Structure 1
Amino acid sequence: MPENTPLVLRQDAGAVAILTLNRPDTRNSLSRAMIAALHGALETVGAEPGIRCVVLAAEGRAFSAGHDLKEVTAHRSDADGGAGFFAAIMAECAAMMQAVTTLPQPVVAAVEGIATAAGCQLAASCDLVVASESAKFCTPGVDIGLFCSTPGVALARAVPRKAAMEMLLLGEMVPAGEAHRMGLVNRVVPAGQALAEAEALAQRIAARSAVALRMGKRGFNAQAGLPLDRAYEEAGRVMVENLLAADAEEGIGAFLGKRKPSWQHR
């Protein structure tokens, strides 16, 4: 693939932005350059009020195989044994994963093929996951003496604790159907249909009020890690903020008047 080929492609479909990892020859591994490209694309999309939902997809037969182990290994010859590079890439990857979670718009992953290690982490960081029947999820670091600690952060927030630990301790491939049962995947579709279904979901989401989507995602994530009383305080604060928005007034009025709302997205 030519060196000037973009690592992340973007295509807009109305209010939906589709970001596509574009290194199928490396199974869309999360090299340092790929992490930076995806983080940059997310920051750009996040600042655009006209975009109300994002789809994250990938070219080729893999969603993402995780970190580029060849790149990692090459830095073992550094003077510090690679410690500086390892620390930098972990910090950069963590910042990119958090950008998915904190992005104002909901993010829907379209997973075809494998999503392993940090690739599984990326899928788990998204708000919704659509997987094809041929998709498989795995955190196989334990097989090579490298426990998937950072993927475990996202995984533990997406599935029950014991399900996460089973994936992390065994490193086995989890088929899409099983990933659906454990809560990692929202929908399973025929092979080759993940992107179409993810875009269809994204279009349905994007038809809603942008202000409600942004407040809702932010509020949901803010309360998720809080004790029950504080969670209700935070959610109540978000509800008040949302009720004061023009779109809430319009939406409630439309409901009571039995008409379709006309969103102003504010």
Structure 2
Amino acid sequence: MVEHRSDLLVDVGADGVAVVRLNRPERRNALSRGLLSDITAAFTDLDRRRDVRVVVLRGTGGQAFSVGADLKEMHDRDTAEHLPYEPMREATRNPYETVLECRKPTIAVLEGWVVGGGLELAMACDLRVAADTARFLMPESKVGLGANFGSQMLPRLVPAGFAFEVLYLAEPFDAATALRMGLLNRVTPPEELDATVDALAATLVSRAPITLQRYKAMVHLGSSLPIATALRLDPGPSPYLSEDRAEGTAAFSQKRAPQWSGR
């Protein structure tokens, strides 16, 4: 069943895969205040749903995953209210963090333009799969914004030299370059994009959910810590004490597919 928010479509399948679609194709999925609020609410809900194992985030319309902040809306609001734009406030504070902190594996599906806040949204996901025709851009240095989230996430995903080049120069780059940087996990022809993402999501669903949750927490929490401290992290629940651990070893012994309970 597809849930319609004002600018967002959420479809939770029986296979445990939730597909979230940015749904402003007439504006190339620009991130309006309403859409940012919808993203926050949707990912908060999906994070706590037991029937959701993987979340796929993509755009609609084919022209863009998202062209980033809705600059027209921002200008109109500044003009009408005489208020400057500030990042990480009100509805703009949570969307990237909410996606980043979702405990389920997340996949960004990228086609067309992936710009500014749209690229930041993709960076908030765990995995990024792109059509080889996708184009990427962080234009903030040309429009006087700050890429608050991207300036922190990009150097965590790619070498610092690449991050500075993308942020400083504000020039577009293609999917092959993004793959070479390490920003993308996979690049496919456009006609193979859906099948590639479906296969990747199905593989993630087949893995032990508590283990994946543990991996995600360990990677995010431990990446900025000394190794001796990181090794002592114990974000729960523990896979070692789970019913799934017993099921996994039994299934391996019996040469069958495991039936995960998430407990």
So what's the TM-score if we normalise by structure 1? 0.89
Q: Indicate yes or no: 2:23 matched with 1:22.
A: yes
Equivalent residues of 2:18, 2:52 under 8 A apart? yes
1:252 counterpart letter in structure 2: T
Alpha-carbon distance in 1 for matches of 2:73, 2:191: 30
Q: Is the 8 A contact 2:6 2:34 kept in 1?
A: no
Equivalent position of 1:261 in the other structure: 258
SS at match of 1:73: helix
Matches within 5 A, 1:159-170: 159-170=158-169
- Structure 2 counterpart of 1:101: 100
Question: Whole-Å Cα distance in 1 between the matches of residues 48 and 260 of structure 2?
Answer: 19
Say whether residues 1:251 and 2:227 are aligned partners.
Answer: no
Q: Give how far 1:18 is off.
A: 0.4
Distance (Å, rounded) in 2 between the aligned partners of 1:76 and 1:193? 42
- Aligned residue in 1 for 2:6: 6
1:39 alignment counterpart: 40
Aligned residues: 258
What is the letter of the counterpart of residue 79 of structure 2?
S
Does 2:83 correspond to 1:82? yes
Closer, same or farther in 2 for the Cα pair 1:72/1:240, shift >3 Å? Answer: closer
Q: How far apart are the structure 2 equivalents of 1:93 and 1:201?
A: 30
* Larger relative helix fraction: 1
Percent identity between the two aligned chains: 33
Unaligned runs of 5+ in 2: none
Partners of 1:228 and 1:91 in 2: how far apart?
Answer: 35
Q: Distance in 2 between matches of 1:211 and 1:239?
A: 9
The structural deviation recorded for 1:247 is 0.6
Aligned pairs for 1:72-221 within 5 A: 72-78=74-80, 81-83=82-84, 86-87=85-86, 90-221=89-220
Supply the distance in 2 between the matched residues of 1:92 and 1:161 (Cα, whole angstroms). 29
| Offset, 1:76 | 2.5
Deviation string, structure 1 residues 177-207 (Cα, Å, up to 9, x no partner): 1101111110001124333322221111012
**Root mean square deviation of aligned Cα:** 2.1
**CA 1:231–1:37 in structure 2 vs 1: closer, same or farther (change >3 Å)?**
same
For residue 120 of structure 2, give the secondary structure of its aligned residue in structure 1: helix
CA distance in 2, matches of 1:147, 1:210: 36
2:210/2:238 contact within 8 Å kept? no
Asked if 1:241 is matched to 2:238, the reply is yes
Unaligned stretches of 5+ residues in structure 1: none
Change (3 A) 1:8 1:45: same
Q: What is the SS of the residue equivalent to 2:239?
A: helix
SS in 1 for 2:51: coil
Distance 1:180 1:194 in 2: 15
Please give the residue correspondences for 1:62-81 in structure 2 after superposition, counting only pairs within 5 Å. 62-78=64-80, 81=82
Distance 1:75 1:197, change over 3 A: same
Structure 1 residue 135: Cα displacement = 0.5
Flag the 1:30–1:141 CA change in 2: closer, same or farther, 3 A. Answer: same
SS at 2:121 equivalent: helix
Instruction: Quote how far apart the aligned CAs of 1:238 are.
Output: 4.6
Equivalent position amino acid for 1:11 in 2: D
Change over 3 Å in CA distance of 1:265–1:239 after alignment to 2: closer
Aligned with 1:130: secondary structure? strand
Q: Secondary structure at the match of 1:197?
A: helix
